[in-house]
Amino acid sequence: MGCCVSTSSRSTCSSGSRGEAVSPLCFEIGFCGTQRTKRTFSDDVITLQNLPSVPKRIFTNGKSRTSCIFTQQGRKGINQDAMIVWEDFMSEDVTFCGVFDGHGPQGHLVACKVRDALPLKLLSSMHSYQSRQNGSGGACLKGDLKKSDGSPEDRLNCLWKETFMKSYKAMDKELRSHPNLDCFCSGSTAVTIVKQGNNLFMGYIGDSRAVMGSKDSNGSMVAIQLTVDLKPDLPREAERIKKCKGRVFALQDEPEVPRVWLPFDDAPGLAMARAFGDFCLKEYGVISIPEFSHRLLTERDQFIVLASDGVWDVLSNEEVVEIVSLAPTRSSAARILVDSAAREWKLKYPTSKMDDCAVVCLFLDGKMDTESDYEEQGLSSATVQSNHSGNAIETDDGQKSELYLPRNFTVRSSEESDSYGRLAAEFEGNVDAVSTEDQNWSGLEGVTRVNSLVQLPRFSEERPNP
């Protein structure tokens, strides 16, 4: 039952007094040296090829033991959002959740790549820590201890922070060197959480957001924002970008959307300060280093909602928490939230193209609806097929429209479209085989109604004279 992160061997270590075989990783949740009662999938080598065979890992519309997820394609082209819930991530008491919002010509491929590869890098980093601890005879590190001396919890917090930092860095490095995925002007946000017992660890970049529904002292549901929208107009983000010669400003026809621009060209206009990919801007202040935070959960905390900005652009934190808490069944909460966002897009911005929406609802008490409650909502208990594919979408008048280059204003030729389709098929085939100051700048009032990436860089040969 411990947090067993062994991705290679089946070696064991002595539990001390009882001599029982346990996981080699002495990184337990609230206890150490007890016999492992159930094998976890982190005991095996997990690669992209065998991810589909891993149970309790969902990434298409549906539900799990403790969560429900749903995504809906917007009106801008292929759905570039991705999401995942992975229960029993490293042990029975560890859950990984993530939402990823792609942008640029290959944004949907980047989002899916990050969705699949980032959790494995977290596992690998934790396994590396395990190996070092075993080699040095390190003591057990317990996760759910009270802050009597602060040491065990501080060590756990530092470990997860290091793990998130290393994993995000490795993920961006892999994207840069990927042979079949051009991330020069494409990228993805990420909001990821690891729930380990009563500990919640969060790492995030970009403007996807996590919010928690919790009960106050009067028993009323309140919304608690867990992450900060890392927009270019955040003071420290803007300062870093300007120090790196990048430019931050909003276009005249969208003054509420600050963007990052190259120093010598009005491109690409990225509407976030941190992202995976987007290597055309990595020398000019856009980074992939995540913000990290840790929170101890209490009995008042009810659920966590992770969502892409397609939801937050039209719904407030309070509205999201209210919709989820009032859903007729927990299993339908994510779908109902996306439906509510779609309606708000039509009401508030009837002339704008609705953005993609992706939602993960994680219920912290570990309970879901009964099978009968779920079927009453007209949903199958099996995973519902996702509309994450690149099929033609249906417009408001019932007509089907053909896909176009997502999230920018360039047009692809038929020959380029064929090549692009082959790349997408090849990639999917491989998959199958926060400071207080910044809280006031979280962009809660800002609305991004246009593309995350305005245009591709032109890179003129003539640079302005210094």
What confidence score (pLDDT) does residue 376 get? Answer: 54
What confidence score (pLDDT) does residue 373 get? Answer: 57
Question: Mean pLDDT across the stretch 240-246?
Answer: 97
What confidence score (pLDDT) does residue 151 get? Answer: 65
Residue 334 in this model has a pLDDT that exceeds 80: yes
What confidence score (pLDDT) does residue 460 get? Answer: 52
User: Which residue from 359, 358, 362 is spatially nearest to 302, judged by alpha carbons?
Assistant: 362
Alpha carbon distance, N-terminus to C-terminus of the chain: 62
DSSP secondary structure code for residue 304 in this structure:
E
Q: Distance (Å, rounded) from C-alpha 211 to C-alpha 418?
A: 40
User: Which residue from 308, 330, 340, 96 is spatially nearest to 211, judged by alpha carbons?
Assistant: 308
What confidence score (pLDDT) does residue 51 get? Answer: 84
Q: Write the pLDDT tens digit of every residue in 71-119.
A: 999 998 999 999 999 999 988 889 999 999 999 999 999 999 999 999 9
Residue 293 in this model has a pLDDT that exceeds 60: yes
* Strand intervals (E) in 104-241: 187-188, 190-196, 199-205, 209-215, 221-225
What are phi and psi for residue 101, nearest 5 degrees? -115, 110
Q: Distance (Å, rounded) from C-alpha 198 to C-alpha 300?
A: 12
Q: How far is CA 422 from CA 33, 181, 241, 269, 404, in A?
A: 51, 12, 36, 28, 16
Give the length of the chain: 466
Tell me whether the omega of the peptide bond preceding residue 268 falls within 30 degrees of 0, making it cis. Answer: yes
What confidence score (pLDDT) does residue 275 get? Answer: 98
How are beta strands 94-103 and 400-401 bridged, if at all?
unpaired
DSSP secondary structure code for residue 9 in this structure:
-
- Which domains, from first to last, does the chain contain? 57-130+150-229+290-363 (3.60.40.10)
What confidence score (pLDDT) does residue 423 get? Answer: 42
What are phi and psi for residue 380, nearest 5 degrees? -80, 150
The H or E element that residue 174 is part of is helix 151-176
Question: Mean pLDDT across the stretch 313-317?
Answer: 97
Top-confidence residue, 43 or 286: 286
Q: Write the pLDDT tens digit of every residue in 121-133.
A: 999 998 888 777 6
Question: Mean pLDDT across the stretch 198-214?
Answer: 97
The sign one gets for the Cα dihedral 158, 160, 165, 169 is positive
At residue 260's C-alpha, the angle toward residues 286 and 437, to 5°, is: 70
- C-alpha dihedral over 260, 406, 85, 430, to 10 degrees? -110
Top-confidence residue, 331 or 126: 331
Q: How many CA atoms lie within 13 A of 401 on its CB side?
A: 15
Q: How many helices (H) and strands (E) does the chain have?
A: 9, 21
Average pLDDT of the chain is 77
What confidence score (pLDDT) does residue 155 get? Answer: 86
3-state secondary structure of 432: helix
3-state secondary structure of 74: coil
At residue 190's C-alpha, the angle toward residues 186 and 193, to 5°, is: 165
Q: Distance (Å, rounded) from C-alpha 198 to C-alpha 451?
A: 38
User: Which residue from 288, 257, 282 is spatially nearest to 355, judged by alpha carbons?
Assistant: 257
**Which pTM was predicted?**
0.76
Q: Write the pLDDT tens digit of every residue in 49-73.
A: 788 888 899 999 999 999 999 999 9
